[in-house]
Amino acid sequence: MAKEYAKTLDDELDWKLMDQLHGAVSQFSSFCFEIKKFCVTTVFVLLSLIVSLTKSVDLSMFVAGFVVPISFWVLDTTAYYYQVKIRGRMEDIRKSIINRSEVKIDIGDTTKIIEISRTKGGHAKRILEAAFNHSMWIYAILVGADLSVWFLHCLGVIS
């Protein structure tokens, strides 16, 4: 007959910590999504306000269209960085629970919380990975759109 898993005090403490960290990751994730929504809203409101006040296209629109997404990008990068860091800690806790268990179960790599390679490396590498990942495309698109319209303005296509 197979031996059942019995939680130790260390396991119980680790599970509590895991729950708390999971809550923090969920909040960071929600925060990142809200940042993106707020960025897009801010850009459109700000550009609409500038157009209605100046009644013409001027450099302030392009500066605002560049600075706002970059600022939100930095904020989102910071949140994403800590989200990955917390997930790395959760993976360490998961491994500790498994290693302490008398019941050895081969759970494979499919239950990993995060790929360990994403949490390792130098500080600069991890910041760059946080700044340039698939969830940050919206900022690049906003900056690219701003630069494209500015280029058209410089060519005289938009006045």
Over residues 38-72, the pLDDT tens digits come to 999 999 888 888 777 767 777 888 898 999 999 99
Mean pLDDT of the chain: 88
Distance CA(88)–CA(117), nearest Å, equals 9
Helices in the chain by DSSP H: which ranges? Answer: 9-54, 59-100, 123-131, 137-154
Percent of the chain with pLDDT over 70: 92
pLDDT at 107: 55
Condensed to tens digits (0 to 9), the pLDDT of residues 20-47 reads 999 999 999 999 999 999 999 999 888 8
Span 123-127, average pLDDT: 92
pLDDT at 61: 84
